[in-house]
Structure formats: structure tokens, C-alpha cells
Amino acid sequence: MTATFAQALAAFSPALPLAVAYSGGADSTALLLACAQKWPGQVQAIHIHHGVQSAADSFEQHCRAICGRLDIALTVKRVDGRHAGGQSPEDAARRARYQAFEALALDQDARGRCKSIAIAQHADDQIETLMLALSRGAGLPGISAMRANWVRAGLNYHRPLLQVPAIEIRAWLAVRGVEHIDDPTNANEHFTRNRIRARLLPVLEQAFPQFRATFARSAAHAAQAQALLIELAGQDLESIGAPPFIDRIQCLSRARQANVLRHWLNDTYQAVPSAAQMDELLDQIAACTTRAHKIRIKVGSGLAERRGPRLHWYNP
């Protein structure tokens, strides 16, 4: 079952003080207001100014006005949210946001005020993430969708509304009469996520009224399976070494080779190989039976290369 907004906030118990990622939109406005009411004086807002929209300055002004009226401390972080070639605008914006949050964690004054960050992504966002992953042929990490809690760069992150439908959040906010802004890019169907929201979710609502809860349950099952694969990969990595010995990799089944190599590449270098790259790498490892055999192929954003008995990765 999905949760109500009130149920989600009652169950939310972060380490305080808390910062809420505040865009000015309905979802983050509701989360900020509810948290500030639940923990008076223990909540601040963080607004990320991405600098990629002409309306970005007006978004900041709105957030300043609302926080001033509600007597909530606001920190504005300006970032360069432009995307590089081959990178999606959504991914560029997400990376910029987390870099800004991490900069906040490194700030000596802010560190004393903020132990946790709450993000207002909700059940509809979770379904959109799952649909995006499926459309791209993602494996378990993608199908697991978004985590509810995690730690990064010394900050505890929380998504307390992942089981709350968007309509429930907006209904809660409407009763309280606090203004919010509507980001015009959310209606731009050039972006795949927006097309899913506008076209696919209404059809799913009609065909499967409980789809938010059931799809979320599938994502949770995938996340549990992925956790087991990570645990196995850690054990296998201890066996094959880091950087791994090629002959030790060859002692594993092909599935375990792929699992441990993905774990090693991602955990050590934040490198994510495509399915085609991993297949080619595994083929090269299988063929590596003589000292003269060379391996030097593109994997992720860098190169995997044989150096003596070991497999190395580097970004040239």
C-alpha cells in the first residue's frame, strides 16, 4: 500500500539538525513545511541555483520569500548545471546538486548545523525512475530505483516520501495555503521522464490502480537481490585481488566474473561498463591463456588493460 503524507512524516526520524532540499516546488515545499513544524528550530532549507533556466533567479527569490515568512534559515548554493556532451541534462543537474550538498558538509559552520538532508522525491518519481531503468535495459541496480536512505560524504540522505503519491502531497499542501512554483521544464515532453509522467502514469493508473505500491515492491525485491550480489562481489574481490589477478578471475563462473568486475570498477573508479563492454572484457579474459595475450579495451569512460598477471583500469 502507498502511505499518506502524515504517515510518512510520522515515520521519518532523521538525525538532527536537518536540511531540506528546497526547489520551491510543491513537493519540497510540503516537506520543508512539515519538517519545520515537527522540529521547530532544527530545520533549514537548501536551494540549489542551477543557472540553466531564465527563471532560476525568480525561483531563488520565491524560496527566499517563503523561508523568510516561515522563519526558516535558507542556504543558496549556485552551481553550474550545464551538461557535457553525451550527458543527460537530468544527470548533470543531479551531480551538481550532490556536489553542492557535499560542499555544505565540508563547510565548518554548516557541519555543526546539518547532519541530514531530506529530499522530497515521492512515489510517482520512484515509478518514473523504474520505468526509465526498464526502458534502458538496466540491471538490478537500475531496477532497484531510488534508495530511501543512504550516506554520502558524511551526510545522511533521506527520501521520506517515496511511498506517498504526488497527489497526496499536493492535497496536504493545498489545505495549508503555502505558495509554490511550477517549474515549466516539468511539462517539456522532450525529456523522457516527463513523457512517462504525462502519458504512461495515467494509463497505468487506469489499468492497475495499485501500481505505485506493487511496482515499488518489485523495486524493493530488486534492491534486496542487488545487496546480495554486492555482498558476494566483496567476497570474490578478496579472492581475486585488487587490481584482480586474471587467472583468479578465470576460476569464477562468467556471471560471478561480471558481478565482481562491475563491483571493482564502480567501487574503486566510479566506472560503469556497458553490457557490450563487459561482454567483450569477459571474452578477452577467457582468451587470456598465454603471456603474450594483450588486453586493452574501452570500459566505461576509461581503459581496461592487462599488465603482467593483473587487470588494471585507468582513465587516459
Over the stretch 46-92, which tens digit does the pLDDT of each residue have?
998 876 667 788 999 999 999 999 999 998 888 765 544 544 556 66
Compute the average pLDDT of residues 87-99: 67
Does residue 190 sit within a domain?
yes
If you compute the radius of gyration of the chain from its CA atoms, what whole number of angstroms results?
22
Residue 108 pLDDT class (50, 70, 90 cuts)? very low
C-alpha neighbours within 13 Å on the C-beta side of residue 198: 11
Does residue 154 sit within a domain?
yes
Q: Do both 171 and 45 map to the same domain?
A: yes
Tell me the pLDDT of the chain averaged across its residues.
90
H or E segment and range at residue 171: helix 166-176
Reported in sequence order, the residue ranges of 143-258 that DSSP labels E, i.e. its strands, are: 149-152, 155-158
> What value, to the nearest 5°, has the Cα angle with vertex 10 and ends 8 and 15?
95
Residue 306 sits in a domain whose CATH number is 3.30.465
Q: What is the structure's pLDDT at 152?
A: 80
pLDDT tens digits, 251-273: 999 999 999 999 999 999 989 99
Q: What is the structure's pLDDT at 184?
A: 81
Does residue 234 sit within a domain?
no
- Other beta carbons less than 10 A from residue 68's beta carbon: 10
Q: Do both 164 and 271 map to the same domain?
A: no
Q: What's the predicted TM-score (pTM) here?
A: 0.84
Q: Are 219 and 165 in contact (CB under 8 A)?
A: no
pLDDT tens digits, 187-206: 888 888 999 999 999 999 99
Q: Do both 177 and 51 map to the same domain?
A: yes
Does residue 224 sit within a domain?
no
Cell digits for 183? Answer: 517549474
CA–CA separation, 281 and 302 (whole Å): 13
SS3 194: helix
Q: What is the structure's pLDDT at 68?
A: 96
Q: Do both 76 and 204 map to the same domain?
A: yes
Does residue 226 sit within a domain?
no
Q: Do both 67 and 187 map to the same domain?
A: yes
Does residue 191 sit within a domain?
yes
Q: Do both 32 and 156 map to the same domain?
A: yes
Residues near 257 by beta carbon (within 8 Å), at least 6 away in sequence: 249, 250, 282, 285
Cα distances (angstroms) measured from residue 265 to each of 36, 231, 300: 41, 15, 9
Q: Do both 176 and 282 map to the same domain?
A: no
Q: Name the residue range of residue 54's domain.
A: 5-212
Residue 196 sits in a domain whose CATH number is 3.40.50.620
pLDDT tens digits, 147-159: 999 988 778 999 9
Q: Do both 200 and 259 map to the same domain?
A: no
The residue that leads in pLDDT, 27 or 82, is 27
Does residue 144 sit within a domain?
yes
Compute the average pLDDT of residues 14-18: 93
Q: What is the structure's pLDDT at 107?
A: 66
Number of domains the chain is built from: 2
CA 8 to chain centre: 20
